Chains A and B, each alone.
Chain A
């Protein structure tokens, strides 16, 4: 199955600064890469996803980039706000597989 590594495990940023989380995956045939945000005790919520035929996708202050050659994808959050504080998980799906393989998560803390 797919192996996904996520870095860093914790990230503290000043409000208004940018946050970047990077994930690498093992199988070059993976074709779908979602990002989930999970607040304490709540469900993971999809915030953005990208498919292998696209290099970058943006949604307001959030963007995801994909480098298929290097087999890594990154989440970028600009102009961070206190409500961005949460655990963020990346995931990948191998093209012929049914399940998502998740990274270990990044705890993001935005300091006011």
Chain B
């Protein structure tokens, strides 16, 4: 167990809908990262927050947004869902924002869009 928690574990929804994925970082970690992993694909970086502020953006669609709250948990919002959004969504956390800091992954949320 990495100490990073994600809810829900599974999510099944329809095209056009909106969902929210939640992540709680390890105790003491200030930085949260979101990754998308499609079937048989690698890990694609979406976005990173550090202590409530956005720090880095990757290949995140405009239909997706995220935020980090004062208690450091983070939410990833996916809207106008398409079939191709079906994937595993992981969040990871680390103590600081960059440098050589180790990232620990949560168990992931499996999103299925029908």
Contact = CB atoms under 8 A, between A and B. Distances in A.
A96 B98 contact: yes
Contacts, number: 59
B102 A46 contact: yes
Nearest to B31: A98
Contact of A99 (B2, B42, B58, B107): B58
A101 B43 CA distance: 8
Interface residues of A, number: 26
B56 A98 contact: yes
Contacts of B33: 99-100
Contacts of A95: 99
Given A34-B103, A45-B105, 5 more contacts: A32-B101, A34-B102, A89-B43, A95-B99, A99-B45
10 contacts: A32-B100, A34-B102, A42-B107, A43-B107, A44-B43, A44-B90, A46-B104, A98-B31, A98-B97, A102-B44
Q: Which 4 A-B pairs have the closest CB atoms?
A: A32-B100, A98-B56, A98-B98, A43-B105
